[in-house]
Chains A and B, each alone.
Chain A
């Protein structure tokens, strides 16, 4: 990376290439697309959270004028499939059966039972009402701890509801607790949270002239085309998935959303089919952030040194396993947070219930762990009578330490720095603004991996092509969820090839047209596709520099590329256009498709959890100041400051955007958001019931960027997309606890919970 000494584009505050297009409403999202002859698909959903299907009669629906087809599980070539998530390597023990349409029984309220395609949405809606389903209701189970009981109703007949468990064994916790001066035990929880993206799940599918299927759908994983082909029983080469710009993902579009349904309906009817899920469907039936129940036991010396941590984590997987084992593994590896603890014992379980399948959600289980361990850090500090910041500083991980899973950290952990910066900004805790007010300040530190688990053997490919006029085309299968996945790649190429951003075009997110770049999940695109794009651009750079060195008769190392020119030290230069023409004439390759491979590894030892799981981590700290109205229980977040060591900020504006977005999302997690399932049915069905923080509720946010330039991404960057959320909820929760002098362990911390806590205290 030291080839380029002084950055002209990297690290600069540059507007993204698609900012104007988005701000002016020109971007065509999944629903902003239609084809001639297009028909509409609708989904019939289960009316019970757990019931046997006795009979499905579709005859009346089929007879309705304007109905093209009605499908049930019998019409799906491969209905019960092993769910995979855009991975190229199968890993045993992590993958469960997923049913495209309910078969034999329904396992959650809203589970898809049948599909209809019709001339209009109205007809499709009517046809859905005409399908008769006879159910025999079964006893449901809605609490993961109850579902662990061998006598509990089984979600998969005859099988345990516990679908995955992990262990971490480091050192000897019994010995650790024996050495401890103080032992603190607590339970915590985290609730069901919806992604609340602006764009609900949507897409259009059609059959091409050659009989293959194309699906234009809002997804974080175009590589699901493989699974779609498997469901249809056709070769992978005959399914193409395109994602337009995505109106928000946050993990909710990581597993399959409407792709199977679109593909099946288009396949059966031969017509283009559109499905757009309603907000109600999205809120009530789509995947949610896994709720967790935590038990923590921490042993510390009087001086604040942590000697042992024992933790139990139980997550609610919902009715299908989908991503739950992966998410649980993230939580497990993150369970003790960024602290150096010699003796660790973690036991974690993910359990099926009759809730909609839980799934990926920004931080992928690391955030839930952070909610628990950062509350526990404050509780331990309180018991010790130690300042929570000093207590953390005493135990922060540093370069060379080993994590709970035995991985020795090879690069900077800048937590002392991020915490100091946050504290400096927050300043002294302010006085309450009035008599019935309490003010609190809270700190939390967190970590999140970037890049996928290394036993998945993750790769990404990208292609860079210098055009004959000196402009550049990038082809890369990234899915742009709105976080600037495309824009970062453009900036990297602009830096390497000296081409201005306005002359770079990127084509993304198309399995038939762009190199496969893997999922836009796991904070991996800048790391993986950024590196792949860097490699491709460097190869093109090398080719044109070689040509220029021939022309000028000087060594390549004597040449520099800037301002669309290759220049010699003595003032001679050639434009990129002329060098491209010269290369083309001589058959020198002006393109490169490069592949970047993450570090490869194996699944950690199941009995000890020892073994590297992730390529690397990003670390940081959030601080929050809140003011509580003791009479109404209202919490006002007055200030948020977040600092993260992002390695190198490719574009500081985008990093700040991520930090601010993480803060807004974290406030909702701590204070207002709750899907509220009752007996498997969501009480929040619209944004009038499901409350997210709005612009008015989000305070001034100070985004602090720390750069130690030793990440694994291009130019030393680390991933930021997920970690920026992790410490926000616990910082707010700790601030509330500080204000109240009492901890509320149920989330979200609503006004009524605050009043109850104040009453209990007095």
Chain B
């Protein structure tokens, strides 16, 4: 493993400064936020480090329209935030639980977990399930992308040269929305073999909206849309009856690979089990089981 000794290190004070450096150096630059991915991966092509850790992007704020989470909020900030205790936002806090040791979580940021674009990342499924959007700042100003569309492949996102993820915006959820996050790793602190977030919005006893988002089972986090459609418009009792089929359908929508962590077949089985358990959990909480 070669040493990681980039040529230059910049600690930026403003977002503008970060953007101009990122634009100037392009692929030769890497953003350092918590460093828990970058300093482990030590990518050899990186010559410039743009340290954004001092930017004022560490916040979690709840407003009338939703929750804004600064890209520099650490996983432990999220885990402990009073703004993320209420349903369905609690699922965001829950997603941090099995992501490594407390020491790692004091450094690791939500922005880093997203921008690293690992298919197995634990934060994206819950955020996608809540229709979160990524707020991006770049040389041409600001833009917004649904987090669902943010990832384009393993370690690849829609961020263009010079762009920075500044904030995650989670829109205010409709009444009666609940969500759950489940994960399976080899040990409690392992990278996910499979993770899943499921969210249901129920109105008048009928499922108005459903999201099933799975991680580590495809090149990016994916929505199991066919499975979601099976839920929408259904009554709670009916959902309880078709849960197993929905979970099977969700597993069919995955495209897992075999690697050192798990064989593809195992990933698909666990995707089904976790989806079923997530639905069961929501049914119990909605009182429909």
Contact = CB atoms under 8 A, between A and B. Distances in A.
A751 B184 CA distance: 10
A697 B184 contact: no
A121 B263 contact: no
B187 A121 contact: no
B9 interface: no
Contact of A280 (B1, B190, B262): B1
Contacts of A694: 101, 187-189
A619 B171 CA distance: 63
B3 A121 contact: yes
A696 interface: yes
A751 B193 contact: yes
A684 B190 CA distance: 13
Contact of B186 (A121, A125, A631, A672): A672
Nearest to A754: B266
A694 B188 CA distance: 8
Contacts of A685: 1
A203 to B, nearest CB: 18
A693 B1 contact: no
A281 to B, nearest CB: 8
Interface in A146-165: none
A125 B187 contact: no
A631 B273 contact: yes
Interface string A632-662: 1110000000000000000000000000000
A128 to B, nearest CB: 9
Contacts of B265: 752
Contact of A696 (B40, B184, B187, B269): B187
A683 B5 CA distance: 25
Contacts of B2: 125
Interface string A743-762: 00000001110010000000
Given A280-B1, A632-B273, A751-B270, A688 B187 contact: no
B200 interface: no
A476 to B, nearest CB: 36
A631 B271 CA distance: 10
A556 interface: no
Contact of B270 (A632, A683, A686, A688): A632
A760 to B, nearest CB: 14
Contact of B261 (A689, A692, A696): A689
A683 B262 CA distance: 12
A125 B261 contact: no
Interface string B159-203: 000000000000000000000000010111111010000000000
B188 A691 contact: no
Contacts of B64: none
B260 interface: yes
A207 B263 CA distance: 52
Nearest to A748: B186
A326 B65 CA distance: 70
Interface in B245-275: 260-263, 265-266, 269-270, 273-274
A301 interface: no
Nearest to B2: A125
A59 interface: no
B262 A278 contact: no
B40 A686 contact: yes
B187 A632 contact: no
Given A684-B260, A752-B262, A691 B270 contact: no
Contacts of A278: 1
B189 A696 contact: yes
A691 B191 CA distance: 10
Contacts of A676: 260
Interface residues of A, number: 29
Contacts of A633: 266
Contacts of B274: 632
Contacts of B277: 631
Given A125-B2, A676-B260, A752 B266 contact: yes
A751 B191 contact: no
A579 to B, nearest CB: 52
A697 B188 contact: yes
Contact of A122 (B5, B262, B270): B5
A686 B186 CA distance: 15
Interface string A607-640: 0000000000000000000000001111000000
B187 A697 contact: yes
B189 A751 contact: no
A696 B188 CA distance: 7
A279 B42 CA distance: 13
B99 to A, nearest CB: 12
Contacts of B261: 689
A634 B273 CA distance: 12
Nearest to A683: B260
A21 B130 CA distance: 49
Contacts of B193: 751
B187 A691 contact: yes
Contacts of A683: 260
Interface string B190-219: 110100000000000000000000000000
B269 A125 contact: no
Nearest to B5: A122
B184 A634 contact: yes
Contacts of A125: 2-3
Contacts of B188: 694, 696-697
A697 B185 CA distance: 12
Contacts of B262: 750-752
Given A684-B260, A752-B265, A122 B189 contact: no
B186 A750 contact: yes
Contact of B191 (A632, A688, A755): A688
Interface in A495-554: none
A393 B105 CA distance: 49
Given A683-B260, A752-B265, A691 B186 contact: yes
A683 B261 CA distance: 10
Interface string B50-84: 00000000000000000000000000000000000
A689 B265 CA distance: 19
A198 to B, nearest CB: 14
A125 B101 CA distance: 31
Contact of A755 (B5, B186, B187, B266): B266
B243 to A, nearest CB: 13
B273 A691 contact: no
Which of B263, B265, B273: most chain A Cβ within 10 A?
Answer: B273
B3 A122 contact: yes
A118 to B, nearest CB: 12
Interface string A663-675: 0000000001000
Contact of A751 (B3, B40, B101, B266): B266
A694 B102 CA distance: 12
A691 B266 contact: no
Contacts of B269: 632, 755
Contacts of A122: 3, 5
Nearest to B265: A752
Nearest to B193: A751
Interface in A350-393: none
Contacts of B266: 633, 751-752, 755
Interface of B: 1-3, 5, 40, 101, 184, 186-191, 193, 260-263, 265-266, 269-270, 273-274, 277
19 contacts: A122-B3, A278-B1, A631-B273, A632-B270, A676-B260, A683-B260, A686-B40, A691-B187, A691-B190, A693-B187, A694-B101, A694-B187, A694-B188, A694-B189, A696-B187, A697-B187, A751-B193, A751-B270, A752-B266
Given A752-B266, A755-B266, 9 more contacts: A279-B1, A280-B1, A632-B269, A633-B266, A684-B260, A688-B40, A696-B188, A751-B186, A752-B262
Interface of A: 121-122, 125, 278-281, 631-634, 672, 676, 683-686, 688-689, 691-694, 696-697, 750-752, 755
Closest 10 CB pairs of A and B: A752-B266, A696-B188, A631-B273, A280-B1, A683-B260, A689-B260, A697-B187, A691-B186, A278-B1, A694-B189
